[in-house]
Amino acid sequence: MVLTEKYQLIKKLARDFAENEIPQELQDEIEETHLLPDSFREKIAKSGLLGMKVPKTYGGGGLDTLGYVLAIEEISRVSCVSAIYISGANSLGSGPLLQAGTPEQLEKYLRPVTYGEKYPAFGLTEPGAGSDSGGVQTSAVKDGDYWLLNGRKCFITAAPWADYTVVYAKTDPKAGSRGITAFIVDMKLPGVSVGKPENKMGILGVPTSDVILEDVRVSDGDRLGELNRGFSNAMKTLDYGRLGVSAQCLGLGQAALDEAIKYSKERKQFGQKLSEFQALRFMIADMATELYAARELVYNACVLKDKNDPQASMHCSMSKYMSSEMCNHLAYKAVQIHGGYGYIKDYKVERLYRDARVQSLYEGTSQVQQIVIANNLLK
């Protein structure tokens, strides 16, 4: 896809932010402490990146999906964990509100996100409901003008930092996925607690934790969208989330290719540079081709999503499936080209390899994406 001047500018602005504001020293600190420093999160908030997809009416940048994906791709090329923090506010965090929020809810919960005054989380996954999103067991029982929520969510990105979480709970236990309703849960409400951050393989810097709900009283004014229509809200939101993950994968893949090319031109064996060995040249050619194909698929899916094309959801799943598998392939090959050095933390490809692995797992495994694609084709 040939990008217009507008999109080229978005890419440049995001690239400049990543290269100037996320130096290697900061990346090393994040890896060591497993946290994005508060000062850096404040810098992200001031940049406007947390609200780039939020409509201008609510103080955001009003970017379309392609513009958002381009920005996340460029930031992921330097720091995937930083991109996840930014993407979380724009896709899964804000998406449910953009899909179903009332003007009052948008003003109260969405506008502060654009200024970094609040950070949202997305509470769908549970210990017994991962790929089977419709199987959530968290319950919501009406109690006058309130709802009483009980349950446990797991693998919730940025839960310890979140000011509120959009929680999906069963309001009609007998109706399966058609009995789920979304609620905006203030994390300071009595009965809300957060579990210990998970000790993860990669994506170190943004904590992932359980959210526990014990007799949490949520006002009916914080019910999000129609009663028993929460599952639809979650699935529509996941389309944008999957494109956000796809963008991360493009950035990771590009970084892996960059490092492989750089190292192959520097390292010598048997009296010549690695870049002169035909086997390694072919590996790099394959990497570049895979990356290019995935990028075209992702960009096209963004355009279809903004056009509300009937096949957009399928293309979002195709994008997430192909790009997440691609970045894992490229990270593997980049480590292989580095040889033993690729297994050492002093080299960037070691981190890329760990960060890539989760991409084919979260926001729908590759197998879930295959189910979505097949269901669309065979319905």
As its CATH architecture, domain 5-114 has Orthogonal Bundle (1.10)
Active-site residue (options: 73, 74, 259, 363): 363
Residue 368, pLDDT above cutoff 90? yes
Domain spans in the chain, listed from the N-terminal domain onward? 5-114, 120-228, 232-378
Instruction: Give the Cα separation of 379 and 373 in Å (integer).
Output: 10
> Whose CA is closest to 181, among 167, 191, 161, 193?
167
> Whose CA is closest to 326, among 280, 368, 292?
292
| Average pLDDT across the chain, whole number | 97
The predicted-structure confidence for 193-238, as pLDDT tens digits, reads as follows 999 999 999 999 999 999 999 999 999 999 999 999 999 999 999 9
Distances (CA, A) of 132 to 28, 209, 362: 36, 19, 13
For position 76, what pLDDT does the model report?
A: 98
Q: Which CATH class is domain 120-228?
A: mainly beta
Tell me 344's DSSP state: S
Instruction: Give the Cα separation of 210 and 279 in Å (integer).
Output: 46
| pLDDT above 90 coverage of the chain, percent | 99
For position 379, what pLDDT does the model report?
A: 85
Q: Write 141-146 long-range contacts (CB < 8 A, 24+).
A: 141/171, 142/171, 143/217, 145/219, 145/220, 146/217, 146/218, 146/219, 146/220
Average pLDDT over residues 140-167: 98
Known active-site residue 363: yes
232-378 has which CATH code? 1.20.140.10
Q: Residue 294: which H helix or E strand, with range?
A: helix 278-306
> Whose CA is closest to 234, among 168, 170, 171, 178?
168
